[in-house]
Amino acid sequence: MTTLLIAEHDNEVLNAQTAHALTAARALGQPVHILVAGAGCAAVADAAARLEGVERVLLADDASLAAQLAEPVSALIVGLAERYDAVVAAATTTGKNLLPRVAALLDVMQVSDIVTVVSPSTFKRPVYAGNAIETVETSDTIRVLTVRTTAFDAAGAGEAAPIDTVPAAADPGLSRHVSDEVARSERPELAAARIVVSGGRALGSKEKFDALMLPLADKLGAAIGASRAAVDAGYAPNDWQVGQTGKVVAPDLYIACGISGAIQHLAGMKDAKVIVAINSDPNAPIFALADYGLVGDIFTLVPELTEAL
Amino acid sequence: MKVLVAVKRVADANVRVRVKADGTGVELDNVKMSMNPFCEIALEEAVRLKEAGKATEVIAVSIGPAKAEDTLRTALAMGADRAILIQADGRVEPLAVAKLLKAVTEKEGVDLVLLGKQAIDDDSNQTGQMLAALLGRGQATFASKLDIADGVATVTREVDGGLQTIALPLPAVVTSDLRMNEPRFASLPNIMKARSKPLAKTQAADYGVDVAPRQTVLKVEEPAGRKGGAMVGSVAELVEKLKTEARVI
């Protein structure tokens, strides 16, 4: 049988997370087909076809799929599912929204946020904000999986796979897209960045957050993250939040500035290769994790660090 | 409009849970248990809908051990009108929970089901989506804003890269994100009043739903530890170490 991987995209560009999820999908040991569902998304299908180890790309191009709402996309996937014994997606907000709906329609339990493929039916996944790793074996014949993309390397480029066009399912008309408010950024995407600099509540205001964090990020070519406290206080937009309920990142270098290190924040960044913490409180939990800790006033040390780089 | 809110009893968010030495699970004996934080937000939203005159009744439901009654009393103290406990011991997976919630939704004639976006114990983030699928209704996940007018829910969702607004006809299923609202604390008089509010106790079997798990937990282990704890004395030393020792810049 075959594995179906759902492509993550914005109708124009294939998101890098798809290549990471592909590595997990290939670890199931079956040929992989990628489904590109959207509107005006032929370029995405071309990009997906050039990923290493993809046997076939299915392109469903229809106006009803433009916003990739869960209802029409899950109807499409369920219609295709009898040909597949695994359906896989990256654990992005799109994947998390879509796949449990698919799983329930197929009457199977999903395995969320897998970090290791032990066997085609056994997976490891973090629970309790990453404080425990659970190994679960599923008895369902169709495996529905979302993938923690930071746990898998990106698949490389391969020979172009054939692209088949598939029709969209009848639109169930259960929801309607109204508008998007996209936070545009010149900086690297948070989930994929090699370096992340992150600020917390100690920054005190949006002005100070910007004044300290933006120059440091720009100097390092880094993405900017934030703790929940900083986001809730309005210092940073919510899609910058790193943690159990925000984004999970695993960059080469993570610099936490004025972040104490609550369990929920650590869940989102403790797999970074190198962690640096700058904090005025020498007892902050973040220092127990940090490879390099620096105690002192962030308003002095962060500009000093930016200057020294 | 009747609103159903699903609430889950979980280890308190501030507890750092420990893995049992035999690898069968995490240690929950003598651990403080609370209402899952996302469920509190969902319940707060339902109570606000009632206060705004948009909801006529708020029903809280919980599935789990007999002790989940405490969680439902908290929900009643926060403003739910009545509660339903569906007793089921052991591991109850999101698919089974969704099937039980579907049965309650249909029996009670509910127009809106509010859930949290995920439980902080299993971190699954599935139940709301599964319920919407089983009901054949629209879903709005990760909601930070909810408006109800003329039988349509307009919902702003927190998605990667920004916000998305969608509209869905009722009945519908909405799952709450952190920034939807700030849940209230139950006042002492309301905690007292909650004791006399109706709480129906039922069993999973009453709904004809098979709650047997589809997944077997083979092992639970500690995550790989980090060494950590090394301090540097100055910015110059930090930069030097990042360049020569860690070689990440």
Mean pLDDT to the nearest integer, A183-198: 90
Q: Which of A101, A231, A274 sits opposite B246 (nearest CB)?
A: A274
Confidence band of B191 (pLDDT split at 50, 70, 90): very high
Structure confidence by residue, pLDDT tens digits, B48-89: 999 999 999 999 999 999 999 999 999 999 999 999 999 999
Mean pLDDT to the nearest integer, B95-107: 98
Which amino acid would we find at residue A7?
A: A
Confidence band of A242 (pLDDT split at 50, 70, 90): very high
A17 known ligand binder: no
pLDDT at A183 over 80: no
**Rounded CA Rg of chain B:** 21
Nearest one of A19, A17, A55, A57 to A38, comparing CA atoms: A57
Give CA A239 to chain center in angstroms.
11
Structure confidence by residue, pLDDT tens digits, B176-186: 999 999 999 99
pLDDT at B144: 97
Sorted by sequence, the CB contacts under 8 Å of residue A52 that are 6+ apart come out as A22, A155, A156, A157, A158
Task: Please spell the DSSP secondary structure of B160-210, one letter per residue.
Answer: TTEEEEEEEESSEEEEE-GGG--PPPPPHHHHHHHTTS-EEEEEGGGGT--
Residues of chain B neighbouring A112 (CB-CB closer than 8 A): 123-126
C-beta atoms of B95 and A104 within 8 A:
yes
Confidence band of A185 (pLDDT split at 50, 70, 90): confident
The predicted model scores a pTM of: 0.96
Longest dimension (CA), chain B: 68
Residues of chain B neighbouring A133 (CB-CB closer than 8 A): 220-223
Mean pLDDT to the nearest integer, A93-104: 98
Distance in angstroms (rounded) separating the CA atoms of residues B163 and A215:
26
Confidence band of B158 (pLDDT split at 50, 70, 90): very high
Whether omega before B171 lies within 30 degrees of 0, making that bond cis, reads yes
C-beta atoms of B249 and A191 within 8 A:
no
Residues of chain B neighbouring A110 (CB-CB closer than 8 A): 94, 124, 126
pLDDT at B189: 97
Distance in angstroms (rounded) separating the CA atoms of residues B110 and B46:
12
pLDDT at B9 over 80: yes
- Adjacent-strand bridge partners of B203: B87
Residue B87: phi and psi, rounded to 5, are -80, 130
Write out the E strands in A49-103.
Answer: 54-61, 86-90
Structure confidence by residue, pLDDT tens digits, A18-69: 999 999 999 999 999 999 999 999 999 999 999 999 999 999 999 999 999 9
* Residue A225 near residue A249 (C-beta atoms within 8 A): yes
Task: Identify the CATH class of B2-244.
Answer: alpha beta
pLDDT at A184: 73
The b/e string for B45-74 (b: 16+ C-beta within 10 A; e otherwise) is bbbbbbeeebbeebbbbbbbeeebbebbbb
C-beta atoms of B141 and A96 within 8 A:
yes
Longest dimension (CA), chain A: 60
Show the tokens assigned to B77: 């103290």
* Residue A181 near residue A75 (C-beta atoms within 8 A): no
pLDDT at B226: 85
pLDDT at B35 over 90: yes
Mean pLDDT to the nearest integer, B210-237: 93
* Residue A278 near residue A296 (C-beta atoms within 8 A): yes
Domain A3-165 is of which CATH architecture?
Answer: 3-Layer(aba) Sandwich (3.40)
Report the residue of A94, A146, A174, A187 to disrupt the B interface, i.e. the one with the largest count of B CBs within 10 Å: A174
Structure confidence by residue, pLDDT tens digits, A154-172: 999 999 999 999 999 999 9
**Residue for token pair 């006042």:** B187
Mean pLDDT to the nearest integer, A228-235: 96
C-beta atoms of A245 and B166 within 8 A:
no
Write out the E strands in A157-202.
Answer: 163-165, 176-182, 195-199
A6 known ligand binder: no
Q: Domain limits of chain A?
A: 3-165, 190-308
Report the residue of A175, A249, A304 to disrupt the B interface, i.e. the one with the largest count of B CBs within 10 Å: A175
Mean pLDDT to the nearest integer, B164-183: 97
Mean pLDDT, chain B, whole residue set: 96
pLDDT at B228: 77
CATH number of A190-308: 3.40.50.1220
